[in-house]
Amino acid sequence: MPLNTTIPTLDRWRTAPTIDTLRSIYDASAPQWQDNLARLGQLHDYQLLFNNHAVRTCLSHVDQTSHVLDCGVGTGAFSLALLDSVNQPAHVSGVDISHPMLTHAQQILENRCRTLDLRWGDIKSLPFADEFFDAVIFAHVLEHMADPIETLREMVRVLKPGAPLIGSVTRKGLGQVFISLRWQNRGYASNQLDSFLQAAGLEAVRSFDYGTGWSKWMCIATIGIKPRRENEV
């Protein structure tokens, strides 16, 4: 009779890392973060994402009066790509758990937007009023969340009706398994990501490939729109 053995899964990180663990990882990585993004081609890929027709269309309302929130702002790379894609500098807010990351974001973004409001904090409890932002963006933070739907609902809470949520996540696969050894991140398939955004209350949800470079194999982009009220046009 064969032994009853359990084969260990490749998905080691079934339990989300603690905020202290994440802070330690990203604090240590902050000095090299922007250079690493450039080396992998992600700075370029982010620019291509925000110049995608679907993304540009849902950001066509953004102007110098608009307020944009970057959840898990890091060094500001995702915000910078958005700012480069719009005609006028918007007001940008950002939240991150890493003080060193926020220091780099301040240096990178301070002369690129109309005003800059960077705060240390947890994106599961955003320090902003309901329906304040004209767009909310995030890059590679959802993979660390124990409850991604609840995290998305918090992002949706601060979105104005009719405004977009735009994000980037790590694609589920072998490459994600290897990088999870360092970053303790999950990976998601497009259909999972779509279901998360829909469960968070968004409509017109669309997830799609980057189509180029490293991000083509490792990342998925996503868009969803917060529904307007029935009496709004």
Is residue 108 in a domain? yes
Confirm if 57 and 78 have CB atoms less than 8 A apart: no
Is residue 97 in a domain? yes
Q: Rounded CA gap, 172 and 185, in Å?
A: 10
Is residue 78 in a domain? yes
Q: Rounded CA gap, 158 and 112, in Å?
A: 23
Report which of 137, 154, 146 is spatially closest to residue 76, judged by C-alpha positions. 137
The boundaries of the domain holding residue 127 are 30-225
Q: Rounded CA gap, 128 and 74, in Å?
A: 18
pLDDT tens per residue across all 233 residues of the chain: 333 333 233 343 346 778 888 888 888 989 999 999 999 888 999 999 999 999 999 999 999 999 999 999 999 999 999 999 998 899 999 999 999 999 999 999 999 999 999 999 999 999 999 999 999 999 999 988 889 999 999 999 999 999 999 999 988 755 544 465 455 567 788 999 999 999 999 999 999 888 777 788 888 999 999 999 877 65
CATH number of the domain encompassing residue 219: 3.40.50.150
Is residue 175 in a domain? yes
Is residue 128 in a domain? yes
How many structural domains does the chain have? 1
The CA-based angle 186-199-65, given to 5 degrees, is 90
Indicate the SS3 state at residue 72. Answer: coil
Confidence (pLDDT) at 149: 96
Which helix H or strand E contains 118, and what residues bound it? Answer: strand 115-120
Report which of 182, 151, 170 is spatially closest to residue 209, judged by C-alpha positions. 170
The tokens describing 75, both together, are 């060094």
Report which of 88, 67, 87, 68 is spatially closest to residue 79, judged by C-alpha positions. 68
Confidence (pLDDT) at 96: 97
Confidence (pLDDT) at 182: 54
Other Cβ atoms less than 10 A from the Cβ of 232: the count is 8
Indicate the SS3 state at residue 71. Answer: strand
Confidence (pLDDT) at 168: 95
Tell me, what DSSP letter sits at residue 171?
A: B
Q: Rounded CA gap, 177 and 173, in Å?
A: 6
Q: Rounded CA gap, 223 and 209, in Å?
A: 12
Is residue 194 in a domain? yes
Is residue 5 in a domain? no
Indicate the SS3 state at residue 146. Answer: coil
- The b-or-e profile of 121-142 (16+ CB within 10 A means b, else e) is bbbeebebeeebbbbbbbbbbb
